[in-house]
Structure formats: C-alpha cells, structure tokens
Amino acid sequence: MASFMDDNDIKAEEKRLYEEYKSKLDELKKVTKEKEAVGQVFTKGLLPIYVMYILSLEPTNGNEISHKIGDNTHGLWIPSTGGIYPLLKKLEKQGFVEGQWDDPKKKFQKIYCLTEDGFKEFESKKYLMKTKIEEALEVFKIIFQDLYK
C-alpha cells in the first residue's frame, strides 16, 4: 500500500528544503567573507611592502613578483597577478615605482623598479610596520596555542 503526500505535505516539504537551502547558502557566503577578510590582511597590509621589498632586490615584472613571493613563502602565499598589477600602477602613480617596457614597440612586458622615493618609502614603511607585524605574530601564536594545544 503506497502512501501519497497531499498538497499541504508537499508545500511543507518544499518550504523545509528551501529554508535548508537558504541556510546553507548563508553559511557559504559567511565562509567566503571570512576568507576574503583574512586575505585582505595580506593583500592590503603586507602586499604593498612585500612588493616593494621584491623590487628593492632587482627590477622585475608583476608575474615574476607573484612567483617570487610564492617561492619565498614556500607556496603558502601566492598573490594573483590580478592584485599585483593594480598595486604596481598605484605605486607608479605615487612615484614609488617606475615601469619600462622591455620592448617599447611590442609592449610585451613591463619591468618595474623602485624609484629613489620608492626606496625611501620602503625603508620608512618597513620601519613603521615592524612592531605591528611582530605584534600580529604574537597574537597569531596565542590564538593558535589556545585553539590547537
């Protein structure tokens, strides 16, 4: 003997499934926002100074900067070139970085280097951020110990 659902049962089940769907979607959005917030700490706070550090070593292009950061961090942080190139343009507008085409006719690849003002800005930021980075490391150590000891 088969049991059939009446219209009310079907509507109640549809509503339950829809509410479950909305709840799961909200959870995914929250996780995405939290990941973005963590990523912004690196992107907004550390990326500019680290790009300037890479350029203080030698002139290079945006793609290579991303690779060098990935290599230096053993693959734990590999910023996308989609974040590097706008930052390079901003630094260029501020006069801290200068970009030159490797071949002005073909405009295949732009090589960036720090300007004299860029070196000064890098040293200043490096000095100003040292204490903040040290404090952040201590906070991360404490949180890590509390969560995973």
The confidence score (pLDDT) of residue 34 equals 54
Answer yes or no: are the C-beta atoms of 71 and 122 closer than 8 Å.
no
The confidence score (pLDDT) of residue 61 equals 95
Give kind and range of the element (H or E) at residue 98: strand 97-101
Residues with pLDDT less than 70, the chain: 1-4, 30-44
60, part of any domain = yes
- Give the pair of three-digit tokens for residue 58: 């030698």
3, part of any domain = no
The confidence score (pLDDT) of residue 39 equals 46
Answer yes or no: are the C-beta atoms of 79 and 42 closer than 8 Å.
yes
Q: What DSSP state is assigned to residue 60?
A: B
Look at the block and give the residue holding tokens 């040293």: 123
The confidence score (pLDDT) of residue 31 equals 61
Structural domain including 55 reads 8-148
Domain count, the chain: 1
Distance, in Å, from the CA atom of 104 to the CA atom of 58, rounded to the nearest integer, reads 20
The confidence score (pLDDT) of residue 35 equals 52
135, part of any domain = yes
- Give the pair of three-digit tokens for residue 31: 């996780």
137, part of any domain = yes
- Give the pair of three-digit tokens for residue 129: 């951020």
64, part of any domain = yes
Distance, in Å, from the CA atom of 89 to the CA atom of 81, rounded to the nearest integer, reads 12
45, part of any domain = yes
Distance, in Å, from the CA atom of 122 to the CA atom of 128, rounded to the nearest integer, reads 10
Q: What is the pTM (predicted TM-score) of this model?
A: 0.67
1, part of any domain = no
49, part of any domain = yes
| CATH number assigned to the domain comprising residue 92 | 1.10.10.10
Amino acid at 99: G
Which residues, in sequence order, are CB contacts of 103 under 8 Å at separation 6+?
A: 109
